[in-house]
Structure 1
């Protein structure tokens, strides 16, 4: 199992972590198996989507802001970050990616993103690689 940290700079941001995850897969030596990417935080998430066109990520961020606004009079959580918890719960804190020939089986345009919803902070990413050497 490997871990790395990501420092975020804004309340809501998306950080492409694909290269770091690929490095953990390479270090594992696994040729065929699965890679679990997990963020142990209740106000962060991990997802896979297009990494080639930054407009896609901007569109995702803008839509999340509209769907789950920071200010909502119905929130009751005392810390004031209910929106971050809701966003994380909906997107999820882990992803599983197949590995073949030592490579992540991501689609041509796919990248792995850490989603920050309560930053700026330092976030831990856990990568567990399981399979055959």
Structure 2
């Protein structure tokens, strides 16, 4: 069995809310580690940020996602938590702080128009994205027939 690999990416947001495409950074880790196939888990160790997969061809999709999250969870929503970032905590929980994606031929097995986005809801800040890679060794391609 091959060992679990762990990396930490630094992500720096420029705005209070934004989606940052981290696909290339994650794939460069896979390339550096020489991973051909396996599973890649991404984890955000913050309560006001998240990670998701979404379309990368049309930036309107990212704008729409943020706009609808703002409408669903407005910043001035009358929260009991009084630090001023309660909406960011809820948005983080709604989107989620982890993803597990397959790795095939050294790349994330994403669809044509998909990318991995770090979701900032309380920036600008310096953040971390933990990347765990479980390599799989297979002689027959691993396909069920």
Using structure 2 for the length normalisation, give the TM-score.
Answer: 0.87
Q: Contact 2:27–2:106 (CA<8 Å) still a contact in 1?
A: no
**1:6 aligned partner:** 11
Runs (4 or more) in structure 1 with deviation over 2 Å come to none
Q: 2:112 aligns with which of 90, 96, 108?
A: 108
Matched, 1:72 2:100: no
**1:50 aligned partner:** 55
Matched, 1:32 2:20: no
Deviation at 1:97, TM superposition (A): 0.7
| 3-state secondary structure, aligned to 2:27 | helix
Q: 1:93 aligns with which of 97, 103, 120?
A: 97
CA distance in 2, matches of 1:90, 1:22: 26
Using structure 1 for the length normalisation, give the TM-score.
Answer: 0.95
Larger radius of gyration: 2
CA distance in 2, matches of 1:82, 1:118: 9
Q: Contact 1:29–1:102 (CA<8 Å) still a contact in 2?
A: yes
**2:143 aligned partner:** none
What 5-or-longer segments of structure 1 have no aligned partner? none
What 5-or-longer segments of structure 2 have no aligned partner? 1-5, 138-145
**1:61 aligned partner:** 66
Encode CA deviations 1:74-125: one digit per residue, 9 max, x unaligned: x100212110000000110111110112221000000000000011100101
Matched, 1:131 2:135: yes
